[in-house]
Structure 1
């Protein structure tokens, strides 16, 4: 029987072969440090009207409540930085939503990785997560040595920046565990805090989600408060401001995922084109995109808010 170090090495090797840029492994146990942080974040109302964040409090902190006899958490990152960007003089969407919805693409890769692990080790019970379940993905990535959390609360890597998705595999087998990432390479830099037009970035790597442009343009189903007028800097779905100004993102390299490429018409749309968008055009440009989360009516609402 191979030792745990060998298993972990082979899993990381396979993860990279599958397209994941980074892979770290940590022991599945209670996230003690995160418990008070999450409790305070919710008490302060930083989740706004995202009431689902109040659910499954215990499961968010303990993967053993998500999978019986969980022993290991594999944390992975997947690059989405695009080769080409939208023009500056148009309404913008976050780069992660340029192409097809990442949930489906990465979930498929996690299934393949689980199959590889079963062939390597034998019978394994596991659950795969891609930003759609009560898992504190950045905490696990940090604990698994993948990177550190910046002042904008996003996970950062020295040689890659922050334009990547995070995903997890929770397994009921022991593996060799990586050391947590403890260094903070943001130093005294406050570029993300200074650039946020809605003052959503607070001290101590905390985001007031109820003030974030992404919250208003994606999560909020009500009318956008008039107090936010002229603060969105032309973002109609999501926001990349705090990432665009981050010095570490000068190391971002274009992804090689064919399915993340946008519909050709995305880059030719002017502000006027967006203001006159029809549901038919919406369905064509965003056929399999995460932008569909906000639905046609939601995107129209956002565009109207920007143009008034």
Structure 2
């Protein structure tokens, strides 16, 4: 039986590599016991801000068998999004993950293809694909599968590739050979904590989501609180500061996914051009983009907030 489990795991990893995933790790689908108290405390302390959806499906976040009947394995995958070119320096900034087409579509297409390959080569395997679209603790599963460790900024970190990647998974009803977690390699480094513009990393490994620039510019639907005044560091959608300063990201290499290529205007626009953004141009630059999540009105709100900060300086 072990040989079969080994063979199946190898088949999955070979196809994952062929489809362009950075790496693939497998863990046993079981209750995430260590995560339960951490998640409970984080929610109890209100660090999810107004992201009420984080309070839903508490049990499903911790138990994969509630998402897939008869779940035996969680196949975790990383997909690179580190861009070749970046925005100009005198621009309002957008998080690198949102430069091209929305990752939900791009990565999900590849996951579906991987699932199809598994069913073709191995037989009847039941399961579901997940890309940040269901109550799944992606980073916890990836760490359990040996793809990296959770850094002090609460992102998954890999010695080989840093942290500029999407985390996705298949939860399937097939028993496989399982991988083991790796050790933490943050050491005494506090670069991410020191650099966070809003001090959202309140202590190593704990991020107060309600203080994060990504939360303020994407998740928050109300006005941006005055607490963020002068601390936004020109970010109009998301924030990469804690990843940009991380020493492990010196190993990041540019992706080769055509669908992640940004529209030229995204790279060329300076602050003045973003201030003049119309709904029509928004639609052109961000067609099928993750930036659509904040809508034109949300991006306008963010730009107006940044502009008001500049005028006060």
TM-score range, shorter chain: over 0.9
Structure 1 SS opposite 2:262: coil
Structure 2 SS opposite 1:32: coil
1:222-258 Cα distance to aligned partner (Å, 9 max, x none): 0001121110110000000000000000000000000
User: 1: distance between equivalents of 2:59 and 2:202?
Assistant: 25
User: 1: distance between equivalents of 2:116 and 2:255?
Assistant: 25
In the alignment, what sits opposite 1:81? 82
Unaligned runs of 5+ in 1: none
Give TM-score, length-normalised by structure 2.
0.97
User: 2: distance between equivalents of 1:268 and 1:113?
Assistant: 36
In the alignment, what sits opposite 1:94? 95
User: 2: distance between equivalents of 1:279 and 1:100?
Assistant: 18
* Offset, 1:26: 0.5
In the alignment, what sits opposite 1:220? 220
User: 2: distance between equivalents of 1:138 and 1:25?
Assistant: 13
User: 2: distance between equivalents of 1:134 and 1:30?
Assistant: 14
* Offset, 1:119: 1.3
* Offset, 1:180: 1.8
1:243-289 Cα distance to aligned partner (Å, 9 max, x none): 00000000000000000000011111111111111001100000111
1:125-158 Cα distance to aligned partner (Å, 9 max, x none): 1100001110000000000000001100000000
User: 2: distance between equivalents of 1:7 and 1:173?
Assistant: 9
Give TM-score, length-normalised by structure 1.
0.98
Structure 2 SS opposite 1:90: coil
| Kept in 1: contact 2:193–2:204 (CA 8 A) | no
* Offset, 1:207: 0.9
Unaligned runs of 5+ in 2: 309-313
* Offset, 1:167: 0.2
* Offset, 1:204: 3.8
How many residue pairs are counted as aligned between the two chains? 307
Structure 1 SS opposite 2:34: helix
1:64-92 Cα distance to aligned partner (Å, 9 max, x none): 00010000000000000000000111100
Structure 1 segments, 4+ long, off by >3 Å, are: none
